[in-house]
Amino acid sequence: MKARAWPRIEPLALSAATLATAMTAYYVWLIRQQGNQPLPWVLALLLAGALLAVYGSIRQAPYRRAALLTAGAALTAVGLLALPSVGLPIIASGVLALAASRRGAPWQRGP
């Protein structure tokens, strides 16, 4: 019987990246509908979190856990600041990235 291969992509991290990207687009749309310009630092943190989550979704990537922890921290912080409007889904993407950082390949786990 053939052993099942461990997937190369972490679905939680990819979900975090997808949600963060979608919320970035929604944030830009919402702010422009209100007649304002999006804050550059918010866009930078959202996009950096999404890119780090995409990088962290590759199980064999070096520094994968550090990238996912950084993405989770950045997305959760922005989500807390934006809680009155669009923060809850951003917090969810941060929590997904943090959860993905706890999941490793079978050979990385202890006994």
DSSP calls for 53-85: HHHHTBTT-TTHHHHHHHHHHHHHHHHHHTTTT
Q: Which of 60, 34, 28 is nearest to 47 (CA)?
A: 28
**Residues of the domain holding 98:** 11-103
pTM: 0.86
Q: What are the tens digits of pLDDT across the range 9-25?
A: 899 999 999 999 999 99
Residue 98 has pLDDT above 90, yes or no: yes
Domain presence at residue 39: yes
Domain presence at residue 86:
yes
Is 65 inside any structural domain?
Answer: yes
Q: State both tokens at 85.
A: 């409007």
Please give the tally of structural domains in the chain: 1
**Inside any domain, residue 2:** no
Determine, yes or no, domain membership for 109: no
